[in-house]
Copies of this chain bind each other. A is one copy, B any other.
Amino acid sequence: MHDVILNEKVLAKNIELAEHNRGKLREKGIFTINLISSPGSGKTSIVERTIEGLQGQMNIAVIEGDIQADLDLQRLMKFNIPVRQINTGRSCHLDAHMVKHTLPWLFDQGTVDFLIIENVGNMVCPAEYDLGEDIKVAIMSVTEGDDKPIKYPSMFDSSQFLLINKTDLIDYTNFNMDKAKTNALKINPHLKIIETSCTSGSGINDWIAAMTDEKTRKA
């Protein structure tokens, strides 16, 4: 966010493009989630568990946002579903323009019901860029500290769901779950919070049920 005036213009244009994307995605019956977190909070593991949980029930596609490389895309190849990489180069977030250019590819993949967009690992700028998704999902891990909502409020403020991930590690940290939730709900009282661990599988069923439910409600 290097220049506030430029930024307002860029954000206004982004909202316009995001609305375009949302219109197109809904027209095709594609429910879209935008996953936002700091690097290393377990986004790609959450993507893997989500695919495992929803596969069979619906057709899933993934857009992977990364500064550089395609390691996450490679991790997802085993699922044999449509996955597309967007490399943002020096940009610290995806934007609606990048996603717009990926839609022709997406609409070429046959029936897709559920689109997962994994954003660049960053708690700040991705929260400000609507991509045309139905819901934003924030992820934080217990190893990051329970003060994150206070220090990086916009990610928590702009999301509908918060996954507090890596709960299997909580006993080895000084993370206070109640404090984390209180901090997050202070920023956004409507946030639906689910505790998850991709290692133990704890909470994943709740998360999958929530996504099935959200998809049904939006259909």
Contact = CB atoms under 8 A, between A and B. Distances in A.
Interface of A: 1-4, 6-7, 10, 38-41, 66-69, 71-72, 89-92, 95, 120-125, 128, 140-141, 143-145, 147-148, 150-154, 166, 168-169, 172-173
Q: Interface SS of chain A: helix, strand, loop or mixed?
A: loop
Contacts of A3: 6, 10
List the 3 shortest-distance A-B pairs measured between CB atoms, nearest first: A40-B144, A92-B124, A143-B143
Contact of A169 (B89, B122, B143): B143
Contact of A152 (B39, B128, B141, B172): B39
A128 B67 CA distance: 13
Contact of A122 (B41, B71, B123): B123
A28 B141 CA distance: 41
Contacts of A153: 67-68
